[in-house]
Structure formats: structure tokens, C-alpha cells
Amino acid sequence: MGWTFREDLPIYSQLVDEMTRAIVSGAYAPGERLPTVRDLALDAGVNPNTVQRALSELERSALVYTQRTAGRFVTEDRAVIAQAREQMAANKINEFLHEMDGLGFTREQIGALLAAQPKKDN
């Protein structure tokens, strides 16, 4: 039921990642109202307290803010979103490089492989 989660990480932190991804990719537009804790919990198939904890984390990193009685909204501060995007990219790249290092590739080889990749139409 709901979203699938990894076994070795707390669910709330996986929710944070998932929602950050959604915000960064524009699935949740800047200034858009987020679903309620209850709706998110139902959708994801997780405990509402877990959702609450994830949203609090997002609030702490300023990606999300609460307007009393109106609900939770994605920040309109594009700079913050851009920064989160950069951070996600950096994490992904580190992960990738770490794996490739483990497989024994040098940076030059990685660069060559990337250049050889067919261009992606955006």
C-alpha cells in the first residue's frame, strides 16, 4: 500500500527526500499549497506522525512554511529551491562517483563515458 520505502532508513527522512524531490522538480510549484498531513499519510500509506515529522524537517530547511489556519505551502523563495536542487545534485553526484570509484573508474574515464552518452532532449 502507498509508496515503497527502503528498510534501512527512517521513513520520515525518506519522506523528506521524496518531498524535496517533488519541490525541486516542480511537481509542487513554488507557493503551492501542500496536501494535509492526513491526506499525505493516506497517500503514502504511512503514519501521520511520521508525515508531521517530515514536514517539520522541510520547514526547518525553509522549503516549506506554515500559515496558521491556511495550511502548509511550498516556499516562494526560488533561491532556496535552487539551493536544494544543487544540494540534491551534489549528493547524487557524490553517490555516483563513489560507486564508480568502487568499480575502479578514473575521473577521465567517467568523463569520457558521460560525453559518449547520447544527448537527452529536454
Q: How far is the CB of 39 from other proteins (least distance, A)?
A: 9
Is 51:41 a contact under the CB 8 Å cutoff? Answer: yes
Is residue 26 involved in binding other proteins (CB under 8 A)?
no
Is residue 108 involved in binding other proteins (CB under 8 A)?
no
Stretch that binds other proteins, among 17-25, 44-52, 73-81, 93-101 (CB under 8 A): 44-52
Output 1 or 115, the one with its CB closest to other proteins: 1
Cα 95–101–103 angle (5° rounding)?
Answer: 110
Q: How far is the CB of 88 from other proteins (least distance, A)?
A: 21
Length of the chain: 122
Per the listing, cell 519522506 goes with 15
Is 40:34 a contact under the CB 8 Å cutoff? Answer: yes
Is residue 12 involved in binding other proteins (CB under 8 A)?
yes
